[in-house]
């Protein structure tokens, strides 16, 4: 309830701000963790995640992301969105582990509902989505990129991308898996999911997790030129085609959302899974010291 009220407030405040800045010509709105700028080619917004240090998808970040998308969807002048990060070297570290560790079942259920919500919005968006992957993109970070229509990645071998859930002792849910299969094919997905592979850029390109690699300083300009090509296609035919390609995958979750929330909640609440997450978080800490 509290979250729904916060969401209404944010949406309202955001739309007032958005309108005022549009009058000034600045065309920019921001929540705390998501910045949206609509400069550049007409009809294109750039959405930047800014939840330092690693753009983990906390409940607040997911909510702000979903609201920003909703606003862009409602703005009929926007036809395409470039999704990128403001955190140096990190696209997104994926779902926030602290939302899935040491909390209660009601929190897990609320969190998962919001993860589903963002995924459904992104994956089924009528807008053209291009990701400008300017950093590491594990698990939920990869999920965001996979929702896009085209993925441009910085060719920096320090950055990796993939669904690495099995390395954490958790399991990518069926809809993550379905989208992976749709993108890289059954055999590659089967192998990568079991091994929790994080692909460096050249391998990510080879297997099809990303569509194009460019030098790091060219990621944004390339994303813009890709966007220009997609904008040249009539919206109605592109949208109907996208819907035809993606609807069955999205419907598969829509028809069992509640069961998926229950599954997640009972899985993540298990002592053994909590222990795995604890060990993984400790490993992240030790990496520093
Ligand atoms: C049967 C099945 C039924 C239902 C489903 C069941 C299961 C659930 C499936 C859930 C799907 C999960 C999806 C996910 O996205 S899980 C998250 C996976 N993410 C990762 O593995 C990334 C982990 N992070 C890293 O590898 C590195 O941090 C990264 C991103 C490469 C950046 O490295 P670096 O710049 O060196 O930064 P640090 O590692 O020092 O990190 C800084 C700081 O951030 C904390 N942190 C990192 N990642 C996360 C995260 N995902 N969530 C929360 N916090 C994170 C890290 O611990 C450091 O914190 P500190 O306090 O020490 O500063």
- In three-state secondary structure terms, 172 is coil
User: How far does residue 288's CA lie from ligand 1's centre (Å)?
Assistant: 14
| Ligand 1 atom 24: residue of nearest CA | 93
The H-or-E segment that residue 152 falls in is strand 150-154
Active site residues: 95, 140, 164-165
pLDDT for 14 equals 44
Enter the DSSP assignment of 199.
B
Tokens of 253: 């979750």
pLDDT at 33: 96
First to last CA, the chain: 41
Q: Which of 52, 58, 93, 140 to mutate to test the pocket of ligand 1 (most atoms within 8 A of CB)?
A: 93
Pocket of ligand 1 (CB under 6 A): 53-54, 56, 90, 93-98, 136, 138-140, 164-165, 168, 170-173, 263-264, 267-268, 284-285, 287-288
For 161, the token pair is 């991308």
Q: Quote ipTM for the complex.
A: 0.98
At 16 the pLDDT is 36
Contact 171, 127 (CB under 8 A): no
Q: What was the pLDDT predicted at 37?
A: 94
Which residue has a Cα nearest atom 46 of ligand 1?
A: 54
Pocket test for ligand 1, best of 133, 144, 284 (most atoms within 8 A of CB): 284
Question: What is the model's pLDDT at position 4?
Answer: 52
**pLDDT tens digits in sequence order for the chain, 289 residues long:** 444 544 544 444 444 333 334 433 447 888 899 999 987 668 999 999 999 999 999 999 999 999 999 999 999 999 999 999 999 999 999 999 999 999 999 999 999 999 999 999 999 999 999 999 999 999 999 999 999 999 999 999 999 999 999 999 999 999 999 999 999 999 999 999 999 999 999 999 999 999 999 999 999 999 999 999 999 999 999 999 999 999 999 999 999 999 999 999 999 999 999 999 999 999 999 987 6
Residue 256: what pLDDT? Answer: 98
Q: Which of 138, 54, 137, 101 is nearest to 282 (CA)?
A: 101
Query: Residue 272: what pLDDT?
Result: 97
């Amino acid at each position: 309830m509290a979250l729904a009220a916060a969401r209404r407030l944010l949406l309202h405040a955001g739309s007032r701000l958005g309108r005022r800045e549009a009058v000034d010509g600045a065309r920019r709105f921001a929540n705390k963790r998501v910045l949206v700028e609509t400069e550049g080619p007409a009809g294109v917004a750039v959405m930047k995640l800014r939840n330092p240090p690693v753009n983990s998808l906390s409940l607040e970040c997911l909510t702000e992301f979903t609201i920003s998308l909703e606003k862009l969807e409602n703005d009929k002048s926007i036809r395409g969105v470039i999704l990128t990060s403001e955190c140096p070297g990190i696209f997104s570290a994926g779902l926030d582990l602290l939302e899935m560790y040491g909390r209660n079942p009601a929190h897990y259920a609320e969190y998962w509902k919001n993860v589903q919500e963002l995924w459904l919005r992104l994956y089924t968006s009528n807008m053209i989505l291009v990701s400008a992957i300017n950093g590491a993109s594990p698990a939920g970070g990869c999920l965001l990129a996979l929702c896009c229509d085209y993925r441009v990645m910085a060719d920096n071998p320090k950055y990796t991308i993939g669904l690495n859930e099995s390395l954490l002792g958790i399991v990518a849910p069926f809809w993550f898996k379905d989208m992976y299969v749709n993108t890289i094919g059954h055999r590659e997905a089967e192998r990568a999911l079991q091994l929790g592979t994080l692909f460096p850029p050249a391998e990510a390109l080879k297997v099809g997790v990303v569509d194009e690699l460019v030098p790091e300083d060219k990621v944004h300009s390339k994303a813009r030129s890709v966007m220009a090509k997609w904008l040249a296609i009539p919206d109605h035919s592109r949208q109907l085609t996208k819907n035809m390609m993606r609807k069955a995958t999205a419907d598969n979750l829509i028809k069992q959302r509640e069961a998926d929330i229950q599954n997640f909640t009972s899985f993540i609440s298990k002592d053994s899974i909590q222990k795995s997450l604890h060990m993984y978080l400790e490993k992240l800490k030790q990496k520093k010291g």
